[in-house]
Structure 1
Amino acid sequence: MDVTNEVHVSNVLQELNQQRARAELTDVVLEVEGRSFPCHRAVLASCSPYFRTMFTSGYAEAKQERISIQDVSGVAMATILDYAYTGCLQTEPDQVQPVMSAARLLQVDFIGYEAAEYMRDHLDVSNCVDVLMYADVLTNSDLVEASKKYMASRFDQVALQPSFVQLPLNHLQPLLDRDDLLTNSEDNVVQAALKWVDFNQEERLQHLSTLSKSVRRSLISTKLCVEIERKCRSTDSKLVYSDSTAQRLGHVRTELQIFVRAGFSSEDYALASPCYDPSTGRLYTIDMPEDLDSCSRSVTVTPDDELYMAGDIVTSREFGIKDRQKKFYQYNHLLDTWESRCGMIESRYRCGMVYLKGYIYAIGGDDTKGTAERYDPSCDEWTSIPPMPHPMSSKLCAVTLDDNIYVISNKGCYSFSTTKNKWKKRADMIIKPLRPQAVTYQGCIYCMDTYRASRVEMYNPTTREWKQSWNGSYGCSTAILMKYGETLYLLTVQYGMGANSNTTFIYMYQPETDSWLEIKDRGSLVAPLAEWLGDGSSTDCLTARMVPKCLGDPDLYEDDHDGGEDDYLSSSESPRSDRDSDDLSDQEDDY
């Protein structure tokens, strides 16, 4: 007979853990920071070479009933013992380093590896310096390199952190040498070096000549050159600058158009979005968070080219019930990854998300509540702001103009004053949109219904009125309003029958005549995305300065892909009359 009891191993471990809890048949007690941990020597020795050596050697501890463990915290020891008896590793974020240190001492490799991976995956501007120095002490070269690369990816922000001045010289200089620093100017590199020196001039001024070798003289301003020379006069050292003329990675960003869709028909497309460079005709891709529901995501970009994304993670629970977890991310240009940030207060599905004067605003997308909130990047925190006067569905859009945020949907148009912290009713569009998309351009708002995709309307904040932008209507299946440089464009797609049969048109706005000029000789202005645009129920176009060499392979979007009316038109939606039955008054009221 040859039979295996599949649950025998787990049952034995469970029984040993229960015996440990009852201090039953245990043969050793570990004393750690005043706490006593009854254990089984065999269990300890089976998962820790440290204990195996201790119990099988001629050491005195081999015969002792109580053993004192030094240089390990009580919490860390409890964590390691729980793992030894269950195979599960659980610890709070602030205990990861103590647990990793204890695992290194006790030679529990799995815990040490997982702790290092956790720290690598949770690097941010506030902890990367500390993680680097901690990893250096433990001689964990992989974590050291990951910390250095992260610091390079957010150099300007890291240099502002109080921990930056704690960097030892042997780590600071290689950091300042890196070509892949994501910094906006070489002056920022110089200022970071001077900040480090000024923290303790008496001891560090002598190192200024060493740090100057990492500064690229041809790229720094005259003012900072003078400041460095002035500081160095009090030493006997001679300044020698780097003779490199290569720009840092952050200096060579390129303005790209980022197309973000919702409602994908292809799983592959959900994992990446195209980035297009109209100046060269090159197409790139930007990775999307793998765990994010592509239908729920909203993206915004700040003036300093930081990208933020909000959305939900959808998980299936027992009996097919779906659970939604709200998520919020910030994009890392160097690493081409999305870093998790503080989640929103409310779960939102395709909310209106905009940046205005240092804050990110998330509005609506919660259907019946109409709530809104504001994110402060400086402290990674969301706070609630007054809700909208009327709840709006996920088919809304938000744009900023002056100190106001305008929200447009088929329920009407409202604005939120960030200075007065108050909502105001605005005039509705002439034809209420079912799926609006809007941009601000030269002090006005331009909006079109991407569902009907037939006309552009313009809102003038001076007259407080909407009017149809000239040229009449456009016969197309879908369209995108987008800005590039100082110009406003309208990209339209007319679906055909079968593969490669869609037709793309591009119009350039003429503000002098309030008209749209079709561009016949388009060159590289329009990306080869006609087929791709047919897949998304909603597409937004953002413009940001990106790092092309860090972006993904565009081949995914160059393959033939069938788009069509069925992908765009939903059987549950159909064009409605110009004025909906739930019409709201155009009178502008405060709320």
Structure 2
Amino acid sequence: MESSQKAKTPCYTNSHSMLLAMNDLRKKRLLCDVVFCVDEEMFPVHRVVMAACSDYFCAMFTGEMSESQRRNVELKGLKASTMKILVNYVYTEDIEITEDNVQELLPAACLLQLKGVKQACCDFLENQLDPANCLGIKHFAETHTCLELMKASTDFCHRHFQAMVNNEEFLGLDEEEIKEFIESDDVHLTSEEAMYEALMSWTRHKNECRVKVLPQLLSHVRLPLLTPKYLTDTIDNEPLIKRNHECRDLVDEAKKFHLCPECRNEVENIRTKPRTGSDERLVVIGGFGSQQMPLSTVEEYNPKTESWTFLPALNKSRRYITAVSMKERLYVIGGYDGTARLNTVESLSYAKEDNWTSMASMNVRRGLAGATIIKDTIYVAGGFDGSMRHSSMENYDPHIDQWNVLKEMETGREGAGLVSTGGVMYCIGGYDGFRILSSAERFDPATGHWEHISPMNVPRSGGGVSVLNDLIYVIGGYDGNSHLSSVECYNPRTDSWNLVAKMMSPRCYVGAVTIKGKLYAVSGYDGSKLLNTVEWYDPFENAWQTLSDKMDMQRCDAGVAVIRRF
């Protein structure tokens, strides 16, 4: 016969009920063995309860401290209102933190080593972070050695630097504090201009004492990454720079970097390296896939992790599309669904990553149109509606969800590139129904007129266009005979085109974007197959390299855009 087995049944105690009972005893002043005196107010409590919740009180009551034998213990440096909240928390595990009490509660929790209250205060402050208070919260966290809150507030300052610098807290930073931001790789900037302008605002705020440290701080601004136009038109005319020889030397170094490419090795230093903080991502949308069908899939590339992920798919599969990104939204415009050219528009809030939503439709159906942004307005020009190549242009106001027709170009263009720089728009190349074009036109919204500029060296349609360092790059495309790997660059100041290094692969119907000082060529068709590769161009090296990580899907005619994650 087998021996009988015994089962152990766990006995659970209701700790919360015990706390409530102890709290009831405390309120009735029963079994209390110590009284805290805070700001002339008395708080009868139980030593064992306080010691169990706080290493501070445990050491006080179990060690050799004189307070271990006293009935009344005075606690200095606290307010009675704060102590009341803390004692209530110890007995109930319940606390209400507000903007009015958090600045008293956190120091008290740190002093009394109430870890739960300290963590709750830090969580509260982290949720309150905004560009107007992030520096103050960062200083508060540093004062009280709240490491997680220090990291969270510092990260927030980096991500929202350009909004933060518009607040008084920024102007009040001392030299070492602003230096930490200026030399940091982690600051998110749309361009290095923002860092230069932040430094100059800080300097002018207390000009007499701060101008002395300007050269040392300016040495951490990456001046060579500024455009030649900004260097000559803005920095050269800044009185604080003009009067200081050390500052002038730094500006001359930046100019030399641009004017003398063969000398760049001599000036290569931290100032010539882009910051790595801004979280810019490449997005590839729709297009024509290997199944000979329009696509709805959307892929996102993260340069930091060198990895591809999927975003929500489009509501409608489409190729021949154009795409832009503006204010945390992606816009996919026009295209071809396999049956007809489209005038429909879809938008995705990539901060929420919910689903694509339909926006107001364009006035005209357009496939292979160009799109660009000027002053928070989307412009779309050219394209093919199935029967004619458009010379028309329209713009979209996202605030009222409305399209407006504008003045036409001089030439109808399908597969042209549309891009803007300096507040002026350029429509380049394309196909007019009879021939591939090398011509290009420029539109100034201030005057409302189009005018021709110098033609490209090579006619091309289906090329990618993007702006890098105030220069317009046109990559790949088709010239009527060959799929192109050639690349040319337009200088708006001299109205001239120059050929630069060829891509490693021919690409027609290719996308082009700029990320952190590099030009990216995305997908396309090389004359024999669709591509899922991406290559990037370094303008200082005049050389292309291929990304090791490929997209999941081969495609051409896709929309491409850059989004900024926060």
* TM-score tier after normalising by the smaller chain length: 0.3 to 0.5
- Greater RCO, 1 or 2 (C-alpha within 8 Å, sep 6+): 1
Q: Computing the radius of gyration over CA atoms, which structure comes out larger, 1 or 2? A: 2
TM-score normalized with structure 2 length: 0.48
